[in-house]
Chains A and B, each alone.
Chain A
Amino acid sequence: MKKVLKDITFGQYVESNSFIHRLDPRTKILLTILGIVFLFLADSNNLFSLLVCIVQVAIIIAFSRVPLRMYLKNIKAILPIIVLTTIINLFYGSGEVLLSFWRVTITTGGVNRAVYMAVRVILLILLSSVLTYTTTPNDITDAIESLLSFLRIFGLRTAVHMLAMMMTIALRFIPTLVEETEKIINAQKARGADLESGKLFQRIRALIPILIPLLISSVRRAYELAEAMECRCYNGGVGRVRMKELKYGLRDITAAAVMLIFCGGVIAVNILL
């Protein structure tokens, strides 16, 4: 139990001052989405198309100045999913039959598909890791608020702000809750609570002494936080100004241009080769 809690590393931000770290978070979010879309636009029958994507992600990772082992850690975490998709894809597709037994046939098309799918999933994880490693959770929520601000033409301005505030608070309180949970677990263990053995039903029942105090303390914390926010005149975002304004700069244009060149490259390779 305790181990599981320790493994939740949230806010994976890695401190650095690289080119990518200094990009506007909105640029990073938009370009990440763009990159992911183009991973799937790359023609799966065209080796060069995927190669362009690989080069692109490799360059981005190099510029992020985050240790490579951090990225490998994330890939390791979803390795089972990669293996599963690869195996499933192996049995689909047509083409020259490579292997045939019982009702299963493996074709060149299937192998092709499996490899492409695996590479794509890995690139997808790497690309989104770049975002979370180089952007603080607060910056991400600020960027989401800013990106969604077009909704205010539908009269949803406060709603967008509230959503962003809720995300910020939720992220902020994850470590606090983890700590609190550990404390409660220890306290109930000290009273002889058994969390590690028994059948499934017993194990679920054993969680009650932990979940109820946790729920109560969360509600208490929410009230306290709401009061503290009101004491500082928080009123839901109307007329609120920021200390750190998000601003696009030259480097955002550079990054966007580089990304667009690569996307153009993917399209060109898809058509030409």
Chain B
Amino acid sequence: MSSILEVKNLCFSYDPNNKDGKYAVHDVSFSVEKGDIIGIIGHTGSGKSTLVQHLNGLLKPTSGEVLLNGKNIWDEPKKIKDVRFKVGLVFQYPEYQLFEETVFEDISFGPKNMGLSGEELTARVNEICEVVGIKKEYYEKSPFDLSGGEKRRVAIAGVMAMRPEVLILDEPIAGLDPKGRRDTVSMIKQYRKAYGATVIIISHNMEDMALLADKLLVMNKGSIEMFDTVYNVFSKYDRLKEIGLAVPAAAEVLRRINEKNSSIRTDIFTTKAAAEYLCAYAAGEKGA
């Protein structure tokens, strides 16, 4: 496997002269393998959003570099737009960026900027809508008439339509109802399956992270605190609490039971696995 995205010693300060020596992101290095799903977690203001804006060249590092397929994205500053097509970034509350008259037009905005037109453009929009399950009867609707969850999905599809190799989503499920959340998560999964894309998700929802991510990157005060498998990260319960984070609710429940009955395992993080384990445990106890 080769790493598709590599960040080396990235530092960034919002003040170009950096008089006070404070960095929003400080000395961050990591690499992402092709096809991985990486979850980024961290308390508010830990530099998550600032970090991901470097990955598609919206922000230029104060020092350090970002390599996409082994090439520094700032080698040719004039071609930074191409990087943005390869690394798609969905911002927080992307539904606030919808602006076209129809859903179809809005999803076409990205591909149009890539230079697609006519049949090619229509085919591209059709394809992505099919993959992520946006029905054709929505095409001519105004995006402003949709429900919150639908708006969100149309906005995400607008980025997916550029067919980025790396898809980054900043809190894609924040503020959605349970159905909207399920739909959005499944849409991300479908996109990844269809194109073998690499996905990076910022989220505060630890349950979804446990379910979705292969690896977790934990940010704290602008630096990387941990970058490890979901299992290893969520095993460091005390440290996560210390930096204002938490483990998934299922793991928390197991911990509380464990305080009363120390034979209960605490290293299970998804709701489904925890339920299965507890059922098996209960059955075993009855049997014994």
Q: Which residues of A contact B (CB under 8 A)?
A: 183-184, 186-194, 208-209, 212-213, 216-217
Q: Does B81 lie within 8 Å of A194, measured CB to CB?
A: yes
Q: CB-CB < 8 A to A208: which residues of B?
A: 99
Majority secondary structure of chain A interface residues (helix, strand, loop or mixed)? helix
Q: Does A216 lie within 8 Å of B159, measured CB to CB?
A: no
* 29 A–B contacts, CB within 8 A, in A order: A183-B91, A184-B96, A186-B58, A187-B91, A187-B97, A188-B97, A188-B109, A189-B58, A189-B84, A190-B56, A190-B58, A190-B88, A190-B90, A190-B91, A190-B159, A191-B84, A191-B158, A191-B159, A192-B110, A192-B114, A192-B162, A193-B109, A213-B96, A213-B97, A213-B98, A213-B99, A216-B96, A216-B144, A217-B96
**Alpha-carbon separation in the docked complex, A193 to B91 (Å):** 15
Q: Does A191 lie within 8 Å of B99, measured CB to CB?
A: no
**Alpha-carbon separation in the docked complex, A23 to B90 (Å):** 50
- Contacts A183-B91, A188-B97, A217-B96 known; A193 to B113 CB distance under 8 Å? yes
- Contacts A190-B58, A192-B81, A192-B110 known; A212 to B99 CB distance under 8 Å? yes
- Is B269 at the interface (CB under 8 A from chain A)? no
Q: Does B53 lie within 8 Å of A186, measured CB to CB?
A: yes
Chain B, residue nearest A191 (CB)? B110
Q: Does A192 lie within 8 Å of B96, measured CB to CB?
A: no
Q: How far is the CB of A229 from chain B (nearest CB, A)?
A: 23
**Alpha-carbon separation in the docked complex, A149 to B219 (Å):** 55
Q: 19 additional contacts, CB 8 Å, given A213-B99, A216-B96? A: A184-B96, A184-B97, A186-B58, A186-B91, A188-B97, A188-B109, A189-B84, A190-B58, A190-B89, A191-B97, A191-B110, A191-B113, A191-B158, A191-B159, A192-B110, A193-B113, A194-B81, A209-B97, A212-B99
Q: Which residues of B contact A (CB under 8 A)?
A: 53, 56, 58, 81, 84-85, 88-91, 94, 96-99, 109-110, 113-114, 144, 158-159, 162
**A-B Cβ contacts below 8 A, count:** 52
Q: CB-CB < 8 A to B85: which residues of A?
A: 192
**Alpha-carbon separation in the docked complex, A240 to B158 (Å):** 49
Q: How far is the CB of B115 from chain A (nearest CB, A)?
A: 9
Q: CB-CB < 8 A to B53: which residues of A?
A: 186
Chain B, residue nearest A185 (CB)? B58
Q: Does A190 lie within 8 Å of B98, measured CB to CB?
A: no
Chain B, residue nearest A184 (CB)? B97
Q: Which 7 A-B pairs have the closest CB atoms?
A: A192-B113, A212-B99, A191-B110, A190-B89, A187-B97, A187-B91, A209-B99
Q: Does A191 lie within 8 Å of B109, measured CB to CB?
A: yes
Chain A, residue nearest B85 (CB)? A192
- Contacts A192-B110, A209-B109, A213-B99 known; A187 to B81 CB distance under 8 Å? no
Which of B94, B113, B144, B162 is A187 in contact with, Cβ under 8 Å?
B94
Q: Does A190 lie within 8 Å of B84, measured CB to CB?
A: yes
Q: CB-CB < 8 A to A189: which residues of B?
A: 58, 84
**Alpha-carbon separation in the docked complex, A192 to B88 (Å):** 9
Q: CB-CB < 8 A to A186: which residues of B?
A: 53, 58, 91
Q: CB-CB < 8 A to A217: which residues of B?
A: 96
Q: CB-CB < 8 A to B114: which residues of A?
A: 192
**Alpha-carbon separation in the docked complex, A192 to B82 (Å):** 8
Q: CB-CB < 8 A to B110: which residues of A?
A: 191-192
Q: How far is the CB of B147 from chain A (nearest CB, A)?
A: 16
Q: CB-CB < 8 A to A213: which residues of B?
A: 96-99
**Alpha-carbon separation in the docked complex, A213 to B97 (Å):** 6
Q: How far is the CB of B105 from chain A (nearest CB, A)?
A: 11
Interface centre among B85, B99, B109, B158 (most CB of A within 10 A): B99
Chain B, residue nearest A206 (CB)? B113
Q: How far is the CB of B154 from chain A (nearest CB, A)?
A: 13
Chain B, residue nearest A210 (CB)? B99
Which of A183, A184, A194 is B113 in contact with, Cβ under 8 Å?
A194
Q: How far is the CB of B89 from chain A (nearest CB, A)?
A: 4
**Alpha-carbon separation in the docked complex, A2 to B53 (Å):** 15
Q: CB-CB < 8 A to B89: which residues of A?
A: 190
**Alpha-carbon separation in the docked complex, A47 to B10 (Å):** 60
Q: CB-CB < 8 A to A194: which residues of B?
A: 81, 113
Q: CB-CB < 8 A to A188: which residues of B?
A: 97, 109
Which of B84, B97, B99, B144 is A192 in contact with, Cβ under 8 Å?
B84
Q: CB-CB < 8 A to B109: which residues of A?
A: 188, 191, 193, 209
Q: How far is the CB of B4 from chain A (nearest CB, A)?
A: 18
Chain B, residue nearest A209 (CB)? B99
